[in-house]
Structures are given as structure tokens and as C-alpha cells.
Amino acid sequence: MSALDFAMYVLHLLFAGVWAGSVIFVTVAVWPTARDGTANAKPLRFVVERLRWISRVSALVLFASGGHMAGQHYNVARLTGQPRGHLVLTMVALWLALAALVEIGSSKLADGFDQKKVRQPARDAKPFFLAASVVAALLLVVGGLLAGGFS
């Protein structure tokens, strides 16, 4: 494995873990405080903006590093005709879904924060954050299968 391949692999795993962990943390620890109204809009805005930043940067890093790894190990026939290729394509679909769900959920929260509201925006964002957490967990499972040599 070349140094570049190793760097791409490390970046991919690091950013995937940070992204998935951030989404799950916001869903499990931050979102309930907004739903219950125990936190006000200002600190929640900071958390949501950080999540957006992490999500966007992670999506770009994962696109670049994953694209590099796929380009080194797969061609169209392997992607469409082998179980590992199907996992890679599944990962791409989940990656797109996670990016969209985080953007939509965080936008729903941020729109309410502009009006100094917390509870209703949290209720509006709930399905998106719950779905994003499931997708984040699935991404880690698929990544584990690929890293573990599933064939």
C-alpha cells in the first residue's frame, strides 16, 4: 500500500467516524434538550452550525478519499457485479442520504432558532435526525464489512 493510499484510508475512516458520531451525538444528546426546551436557541445554534460544518467537510473528504480508493480497487464491472462493489455503491447511496438528512434537519432547527424558538423546530427536525442516525450507523456497518474483507 502506497503512502497516498494509506493516507486516503486513514482520512476516510477518521472523517466517517467523526461525521457519524457527531450526527448520533446530536440526535441522542442535543436534540432532546431542544425538544424539551431546556436549552435556549443560542447554544443550540452553535451546535447545529458545527454539525453542518462537520457534515459538509466530511462529505467532501469522504468523496475525495472514497473516490481515490474506489478508483484504485474497482472498475464498473467490479462495482456492479461483485458483493464488495455492491457495498461500495450502497455506501455512496447512504453517504448522499446522510448529507441530505443532516442538511434538512439542521435547516429546520436553524430556521426556528432565527425566531428564538426551540421546541417546535426540534419536533420538525426529529424525523430527519432519527433517520440520519440510522443512516450513520448503517454507514459504519457497511464500512466495517468492507474493512473486514467481506467478499
Region at 149 (left for phi over 0; alpha for psi -120 to 50; beta for the rest): left
Please list the pLDDT of the chain residue by residue as tens digits (151 residues).
789 989 999 999 999 999 999 999 999 998 898 888 888 888 888 999 999 999 999 999 999 999 998 888 888 888 889 888 999 999 999 999 999 999 999 999 888 887 888 888 889 999 999 999 999 999 999 989 988 877 6
Compute the distance between CA of residue 6 and CA of residue 3 in angstroms, rounded to an integer.
Answer: 5
Domain encompassing residue 32: 3-147
Compute the distance between CA of residue 10 and CA of residue 31 in angstroms, rounded to an integer.
Answer: 30
Of 57, 54, 59, the C-alpha closest to 30 is 54
Compute the distance between CA of residue 74 and CA of residue 2 in angstroms, rounded to an integer.
Answer: 17
For residue 113, which amino acid is it? F
Compute the distance between CA of residue 9 and CA of residue 135 in angstroms, rounded to an integer.
Answer: 21
- Taking the CA atoms of the chain, what radius of gyration do you get in angstroms? 17
pLDDT at residue 78, rounded to an integer: 87
Instruction: Give the 3-state secondary structure of residue 111.
Output: helix
C-alpha cell at 37: 426546551
Give the count of domains, the chain. Answer: 1
What is each CA distance from 32 to 27, 35, 38, in whole angstroms? Answer: 7, 5, 9
CB 151: neighbour CB atoms within 10 A?
Answer: 9
Of 118, 131, 103, 111, the C-alpha closest to 35 is 118
Residue with cell 435556549: 40
